[in-house]
Amino acid sequence: MELDIRNLTKTFGSTAALHGVDLKVASGELLALLGPSGSGKTTLLRCVAGLEIPSGGQILFGGEDASLKSVQERQIGFVFQHYALFKHLTIADNISYGLRVRPRRTRPTAAAIRDKVEELLALIQLPGYGGRYPSQLSGGQRQRVALARALAVEPRVLLLDEPFGALDAKVRKELRLWLREFHDRTGHTTLFVTHDQEEALDLADRVVVMSEGRIEQEGTPEDVYDRPATPFVFDFIGESVRLDIHVDKGRPFVGQQEVSIPRLPPLLFDGPAKLYVRPEHVAFRRDGEGLWATVVSLHRSGSSRRIGFRADGTDTVIEALTPADREPPRIGDRAALEIQAAGLFAA
């Protein structure tokens, strides 16, 4: 089932949570909505689910307008950050809840429900857990039960709201891998919300980066990481240093030195600008051509070393990343920096 979101807006009182969001999700795609808290990603997900009423725009499920449908009619599967399992029901009763509340004519028989529960318990690798209560399960197990409960109703779209947010780091990673495999096997169109870039980049077919109610960039994890489209994405995803530079006759200058940046589109403006550089895209030599700078800091972190350089004639420190086993320069050493990739935006 493909999903088409058109010009969706949502305001809470006088504050706008979504400013006209357009987004298409292909059938069977695993899409991550990534952004800091308050970026509107959860609001977008809840609008798709029908848990929030949009202020304007349309949501099409397979070409059919869902705006007028209630949450019950939308046939979606929703997984909450804190599981929202029914504590007074057994695992089996939790999973079968969506089937048991159906009107009599569409409700499966008791035997069919039992079979479905067994099948789903096997799918989430918790066979034999049907008789237990949620309080007897670990966090990761509870979240798998919540997923099984959402899948039991055979949803057209699966929506996950920070599904790993309440779990500790180790379980998070395991469950993330498990969900990717699970998706590859079952192929549900899936939207999941996260504020964890690693999770989004690891797991999703496509990542949508949101900020302040707008989509900043959408693309594959490679696109988003390697070719950030806006200053926000540069800041939010991965590590980067921002340099205040200026552009003169289409050429970028750091202080008085001109810098050469490969694969940069022609600059059509003059004046102050911002340059975003990732530490792994900074190389340095003791001599030759480049942006001349002085070593001001050295910092060992795990298997790599960070070296801070101050470009001549500026206050800005540019960091470079080198393997820890390479002989480091000393503080005060001079070096020529080569910037292998960067983003440049008018200030």
- Sequential DSSP letters for 78-97: EE-TT----TTS-HHHHHHH
The whole-angstrom separation of Cα 256 and Cα 247 is 11
The whole-angstrom separation of Cα 237 and Cα 224 is 8
Nearest distance in Å: CB 134, another protein: 5
Told to check if 7 binds another protein by CB under 8 A, we report yes
Q: Closest CB to another protein among 27 and 136?
A: 136
Helix or strand or coil: residue 277?
A: strand
Per-residue x/- mask for another protein, residues 125 to 144, rule CB under 8 A? Answer: --------xxxx-----x--
Per-residue x/- mask for another protein, residues 12 to 41, rule CB under 8 A? Answer: --------x---------------------
Using alpha carbons, select from 59, 47, 42 the residue that is nearest to residue 210.
42
Structural contact between residues 194 and 179, judged by C-beta atoms closer than 8 angstroms: no
The whole-angstrom separation of Cα 244 and Cα 290 is 18
Told to check if 55 binds another protein by CB under 8 A, we report yes
Contact segment (CB under 8 A) with another protein among 147-155, 274-282, 293-301, 317-325 equals 147-155
Q: Closest CB to another protein among 48 and 337?
A: 48
Give every strand in the sheet of 64-65, ordered side by side.
Answer: 15-25, 3-12, 56-61, 64-65
Q: Closest CB to another protein among 143 and 197?
A: 143
Give the one residue of 16, 51, 123, 283 binding another protein; rule: CB under 8 A. 51
Q: Closest CB to another protein among 6 and 274?
A: 6
**What's the Cα-to-Cα distance from 241 to each of 187, 223, 225, 231, rounded to whole Å?**
39, 19, 15, 11
Give the one residue of 14, 15, 37, 70 binding another protein; rule: CB under 8 A. 70
Told to check if 98 binds another protein by CB under 8 A, we report yes
Q: Closest CB to another protein among 158 and 207?
A: 158
Give the one residue of 58, 138, 186, 260 binding another protein; rule: CB under 8 A. 58
Give the one residue of 40, 54, 228, 329 binding another protein; rule: CB under 8 A. 54
250 CB-near residues (< 8 Å, 6+ apart):
266, 267, 268, 270
Told to check if 150 binds another protein by CB under 8 A, we report yes
Nearest distance in Å: CB 68, another protein: 6
Nearest distance in Å: CB 153, another protein: 6
Using alpha carbons, select from 258, 255, 259, 272 the residue that is nearest to residue 311.
255
Q: Are strands 76-79 and 157-161 parallel, antiparallel or unpaired?
A: parallel
Q: Is 106 exposed, middle or buried (0-12, 13-18, 19+ CB in 10 A)?
A: exposed
Q: Closest CB to another protein among 100 and 299?
A: 100
Q: Closest CB to another protein among 162 and 319?
A: 162
The whole-angstrom separation of Cα 187 and Cα 40 is 26
Using alpha carbons, select from 133, 101, 98, 139 the residue that is nearest to residue 116.
98
Helix or strand or coil: residue 54?
A: coil
Contact segment (CB under 8 A) with another protein among 69-77, 240-248, 293-301, 312-320 equals 69-77
Told to check if 86 binds another protein by CB under 8 A, we report yes
Point out which residues bind another protein (CB under 8 A). Answer: 6-7, 9, 20, 49-58, 65, 67-72, 75-78, 80, 82-89, 97-98, 101-102, 133-136, 142, 149-150, 152-153
